[in-house]
Amino acid sequence: MLVHPWDAPSHDDEWRAVLREFDFGQLIAPGGPDRDLPVVVPTHFIFDGEHTLELHLARPNPVWRALTERPRALFTVVADYVYVPAAVNADPGEDPALGVPTSYYAAVQAEVDVEIVDDPAAKAAILARQLRHFESGDSHRVTPGVEVESDRRLMSAIRGLRLTITGVNAKFKYGGNKTVGHRAAIAAALQPRNGPMDAAARRRLVSRPAAPMGR
């Protein structure tokens, strides 16, 4: 992923906030040297706020063989993405018809060491943490001490994963090479469209640090 200096996170908390807020991504397992293509798994996950991701997957998932071949992977999350029309992205004073369209988005690519969790108690603990994160507070699924026989039987059908982040490549492409005024104008132009992620993208547009003079 190409990351220009003006697209880089200003601090680690910026990419960590993405992993806390957006809890669905893609696990990409390259596997061993004989594989033609990696295995890609869309999945929910939980993040401890520092350097650990946890999740569980079904035993028939083809990713297990790739992870056994090589316990390294990439975990990716893309958030708050929008298409910016040519006329909207045109520089001040430029003919809007000659503007260059672009995409704005936040992306986090985490390099991870992989630990497969098959111990029943450890696997149940991962599942319990996921349920506490995703279920509502009054859900039967997050009630301490409640055990369901069907759940005990189903536990053998899943395996847990603990991913330790060893490196991060993050990008926040929101006009960081433009002036604050220009970004505000782009944000204002996107407001009437009111697409699914326009509001979030607009907030990122206006909150990015100002471009250095001469950029």
pLDDT in tens, the chain (215 residues): 999 999 999 899 999 999 999 999 999 999 999 999 999 999 999 999 999 999 999 999 999 999 999 999 999 999 999 999 999 999 888 888 889 999 999 999 999 999 999 999 999 899 989 988 998 766 666 554 445 555 666 788 899 999 999 999 999 999 999 988 999 999 999 999 989 999 999 999 998 876 654 44
pLDDT of residue 142: 55
Contact 128, 151 (CB under 8 A): no
- Taking phi over 0 as left and psi of -120 to 50 as alpha, with beta for the rest, 145 belongs to left
**Position 35, amino acid:** R
For residue 114, which phi and psi values (nearest 5 degrees)? -110, 130
pTM for this predicted structure = 0.89
Domain covering 5-87+98-176 assigned CATH 2.30.110.10 in the classification: yes
- Return d(Cα 64, Cα 11) in angstroms, integer: 34
pLDDT of residue 154: 77
Distances (CA, A) of 95 to 88, 103, 187, 215: 11, 20, 19, 21
- DSSP line for 60-113: T-THHHHHHH--EEEEEEEEEEEEE-HHHHPPTTS-GGG---EEEEEEEEEEEE
- Return d(Cα 157, Cα 56) in angstroms, integer: 10
3-state secondary structure of 123: helix
What sections of the chain are H helices per DSSP? 12-21, 63-69, 86-89, 120-134, 149-154, 180-190, 198-207
DSSP secondary structure code for residue 178 in this structure? S
Reported as half-sphere exposure (CB side, CA atoms, 13 A), residue 21 has a value of: 13
Residues 6+ positions from 24 with CB-CB distance below 8 Å: 42, 43, 44, 45, 77
Domain-wise residue ranges, the chain: 5-87+98-176
- Return d(Cα 203, Cα 114) in angstroms, integer: 34
- Return d(Cα 188, Cα 211) in angstroms, integer: 19
pLDDT of residue 98: 87
The residue to which tokens 């990015």 are assigned? 208
Please state, as a whole number, how many other Cβ atoms lie within 10 Å of the Cβ of residue 88.
18
pLDDT of residue 215: 44
